[in-house]
């Protein structure tokens, strides 16, 4: 009989390795969604934005090919639930966008900076984790559950079992779901690829092109790891389960809630009910991957807050990111890459909120 810990161990260590690579590549290529949006808004420069969009295209194609061939079931992910809490997604995304702008970086960027020696990012991440945990299970959660989450659409009323764009297209047009899946993923990916590679300067930037390919494939690998290799029968209960994920279902890279769970584990280490999960291992992996790259290239530098105003601004941004990231069910990676790769309607709403909030905050800063 297979030991119950074996698939869980595979998922945890696999998640660590994927995130380690993610952290190193993100550090090398300066991958940052907030920075990409800022480049466009402030300088009309689309280099990093094209890199982000190429990462999305790779993640969309890879994840949906795995789904098409039956290797994973994206319909089991939290992004695909038939109840669409549109207000939580939109408002949470907008607040996260504002927060990451005034904190000068999203959750992933702060994990990467921490690996590079930023003590400022350590403080931001601790406050973000507290805010996120309060939104998961504490005071903020009471407000979220009472006032935001109930404002939702139940898509099952229209005969939908999930909120994926392919199923919606299939319902409207009568196309078979697998055909609608290939059509939707293909059109979105092709449109992104055409826009990305029409720019000669981006095509010549091998670092950004290869970086985007690697980051997108890491999201796909995360889906395969938790949804295939980490999916099986628990010999103790004889139930078919997803091992070592916080949501107890299929996951890929996301950093807001996992940062909160990481802090919880550190504070309650002797609580035997708590375990290291794919998400927690991913948080550690990004930091150490970034640190490895920074040390190898001699770019590791200790960094603190520039002033009291800087500290105040960073802390406000951290609180907004913690609340917004949990409310929107993900951050620029959790929704902007992982959620979008499932072609979920809710992920589009959350991502629109993140971009809208970031742009609004940047315009306010300019004025």
**What mean pLDDT, rounded, does the chain reach?**
95
For the chain, the domains span 5-366
Strands (E) across 95-251 are located at: 153-154, 231-233, 240-242
Q: How far, in Å, CA of 48 to CA of 36, rounded?
A: 5
Average pLDDT over residues 87-107: 96
State the pTM of this model. Answer: 0.95
Q: Which two structure tokens, joined as six digits, stand for 322?
A: 């913690």
Work out the burial of residue 229: count CB atoms within 10 Å of its CB; fewer than 13 is exposed, 13-18 middle, 19 or more buried.
middle
pLDDT for 5 equals 55
pLDDT at 2 over 70: no
Q: Where are the beta strands (DSSP E) in the chain?
A: 83-84, 153-154, 231-233, 240-242
> What pLDDT digit, counting tens, does each position of 124-182 carry?
999 999 999 999 999 999 999 999 999 999 999 998 999 999 999 999 999 999 999 99
Among the listed ranges 214-218, 237-241, 244-248, 319-323, which one has the minimum average pLDDT value? Answer: 237-241
Question: Over 43-69, what HEC string results?
Answer: HCCCHHHHHHHHHHHHHHHHHHHHHHC
Mean predicted confidence (pLDDT) in 344-361: 97
How far, in Å, CA of 89 to CA of 152, rounded? 10
User: In terms of residues, how long is the chain?
Assistant: 367
Residue whose C-alpha is closest to residue 254's, from 114, 96, 71: 96
Check whether 1 has a pLDDT greater than 90: no
Name residues whose C-beta falls within 8 Å of residue 90's C-beta, 6 or more positions apart in sequence: 328, 349, 350, 352, 353
Burial of 198 (0-12, 13-18, 19+ CB in 10 A): exposed
How far are the Cα atoms of 15, 20, 55, 131, 189 from residue 58, in angstroms, in the given order? 19, 19, 5, 32, 8
Q: What is the pLDDT of residue 337?
A: 97
The percent of residues above 90 in pLDDT, for the chain, comes to: 92
Tokens of 57: 């295209």
Q: Which of 44-53, 62-71, 236-245 has the lowest mean pLDDT?
A: 236-245
Question: Roughly how many angstroms between the first and final C-alpha of the chain, as a whole number?
Answer: 65
Q: Which two tokens stand for residue 14?
A: 């696999």
Residue 239 has pLDDT above 90, yes or no: no
Q: What is the mean pLDDT of residues 323-341?
A: 96
Is residue 87 scored above 90 in pLDDT?
yes
């Amino acid at each position: 009989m297979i030991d119950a810990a074996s698939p869980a161990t595979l998922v945890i260590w696999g998640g660590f390795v994927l995130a380690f690579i993610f952290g190193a590549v993100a550090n090398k290529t300066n991958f940052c969604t907030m920075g990409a949006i800022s480049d466009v808004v402030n300088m009309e420069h689309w280099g990093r934005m094209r890199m982000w969009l190429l990462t999305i295209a790779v993640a969309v194609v890879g994840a949906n090919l795995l789904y098409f061939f039956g290797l994973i079931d994206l319909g089991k992910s939290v992004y695909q639930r038939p109840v669409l809490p549109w207000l939580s997604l939109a408002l949470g995304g907008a607040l996260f966008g504002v927060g990451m702008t005034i904190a000068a970086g999203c959750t992933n960027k702060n994990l990467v900076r921490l690996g590079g020696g930023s003590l400022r990012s350590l403080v931001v991440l601790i406050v973000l984790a507290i805010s996120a945990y309060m939104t998961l299970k504490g005071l903020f959660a009471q407000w979220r559950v009472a006032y935001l989450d109930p404002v939702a659409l139940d898509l099952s009323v229209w005969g939908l079992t999930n909120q994926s764009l392919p199923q919606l297209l299939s319902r409207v047009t009568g196309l078979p779901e697998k055909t609608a899946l290939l059509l939707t993923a293909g059109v979105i990916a092709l449109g992104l690829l055409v826009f990305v590679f029409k720019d000669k300067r981006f095509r010549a930037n091998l670092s950004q092109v290869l970086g985007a390919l690697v980051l997108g494939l890491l999201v796909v690998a995360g889906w395969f790891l938790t949804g295939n290799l980490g999916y099986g029968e628990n010999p103790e209960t004889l139930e078919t389960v997803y091992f070592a994920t916080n949501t107890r279902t299929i996951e890929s890279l996301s950093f807001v809630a996992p940062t909160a769970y990481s802090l919880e584990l550190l504070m309650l280490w002797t609580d035997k009910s708590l375990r290291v999960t794919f998400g927690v291992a991913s948080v550690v992996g990004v930091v150490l991957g970034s640190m490895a790259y920074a040390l190898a290239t001699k770019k590791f530098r200790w960094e603190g807050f520039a002033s009291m105003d800087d500290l105040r601004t960073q802390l406000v941004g951290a609180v907004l990111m913690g609340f917004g990231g949990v409310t929107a069910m993900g951050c620029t990676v959790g929704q902007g890459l992982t959620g979008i790769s499932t072609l979920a309607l809710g992920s589009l709403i959350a991502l629109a909120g993140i971009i809208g909030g970031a742009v609004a905050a940047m315009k306010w800063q300019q004025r």
